[in-house]
Amino acid sequence: MAWWHLLADCVVVFHAAYVAFVVFGFAAILAGTALGWRWVGNYHFRAAHMAAILLVCIEAFVGVTCPLTTLENYLRVKSGGAGYPGDFIGYWAHRMIFYQAPPWMFTALYVAFAIMVGVVFWLVPPQRPAPKRVAQTRLPG
């Protein structure tokens, strides 16, 4: 039983990290652009960031519950607990990322945030990785 509970807490921590990546990643992109930090132009970082917020928007438009929330609730019930956290880690992680508001408000916020990310992606495009060079070998003769 304790393992299910621990796994549920791990899912909450991962969920909070996902939210932090989206929110603080955007703040880092803005700050890094202003301060000349080269790493914020990394194509893979920027593409992953854009994909992360677009996934949230798609979930909101389709009306599905986040798979991480579903997994966490399943693990909590499996551990014999309630569908939402009642211990220290779960409680505080949830307090940081979940608020009480109508679902449409979350969808509007996600879309507005995605639009801001898209505008910055367009105004400050990521640096595409350089094409890999294939080493040419010389044949003797």
Residues of the chain with pLDDT under 50: 85-88
Q: Is 128 inside a domain boundary?
A: no
- pTM, entire model: 0.78
**pLDDT tens digits, 114-136:** 999 999 999 999 988 778 776 66
**pLDDT tens digits, 8-25:** 889 989 998 999 999 999
Q: Is 75 inside a domain boundary?
A: yes
Residues 6 or more apart whose CB falls under 8 angstroms from that of 134 comprise: none
Vertex 36: Cα angle to 34 and 41 (nearest 5)? 95
Domains identified in the chain, total number: 1
Q: Is 140 inside a domain boundary?
A: no
* Segments forming the whole domain that contains residue 38: 2-123
Q: Is 119 inside a domain boundary?
A: yes
Burial category of 49 from C-beta neighbours within 10 Å (exposed 0-12, middle 13-18, buried 19 and up): buried
Q: Is 139 inside a domain boundary?
A: no
Q: Is 118 inside a domain boundary?
A: yes
Q: Is 135 inside a domain boundary?
A: no
Indicate the residue type of 40.
V
- Report pLDDT for 34: 95
Q: Is 136 inside a domain boundary?
A: no
Q: How far apart are CA 8 and CA 4, in angstroms?
A: 6
